[in-house]
Amino acid sequence: MNMTESIQAARVGEMQRSGADSATLEFRFAATQPVFAGHFPGHPILPGVFQLEMARVAAEAVAGSAMVVRGIVKAKFRRPIRPEETIHVEVKLVAQADSSQARATFSVSGQPAGETILQLTRNT
């Protein structure tokens, strides 16, 4: 299973739209997921690259089309995300001339877990 498939499998519940270009999605990774195998032994945490990919997947859900990351404007990880925690991802798409920015925030149990801004283009 690749990273995107793993993220899709971890999605729980339905997307909650909060406007035409914004929504909230939730994800929960089982402790048995291979992503935790080496990151870190005895103290598993979700790698930051998975959080960035969750933001892209959430942006695709909002846009209704495939998107490609062209750049990472910002990536800030505030707290470790552990197996079995429910990750609340709020994403807002901001249209630009020839691309979009996905602004995503991550939280767990009401605590900020991270934030990112991705520069995206539609995958045609």
Q: How many CB atoms lie within 10 A of CB 55?
A: 28
**Predicted local confidence at residue 113, as pLDDT:** 98
Residue 33 is given by DSSP the state: S
Domain harbouring 67, CATH code: 3.10.129.10
Structural domain total, the chain: 1
Say what the pTM is.
0.93
Q: Can you tell me the mean pLDDT for 79-94?
A: 97
Instruction: Residue 73: give the domain boundaries.
Output: 3-122
Q: Tokens 């520069």 label which residue?
A: 119
Average pLDDT value over all residues in the chain:
94
- Residue of 21, 28, 39, 47 with catalytic role: 39
Sheet containing strand 67-77, edge to edge, reads 11-19, 22-28, 86-95, 100-108, 111-122, 67-77
Give me the pLDDT at residue 62, please. Answer: 95
Catalytic residue check, 39: yes
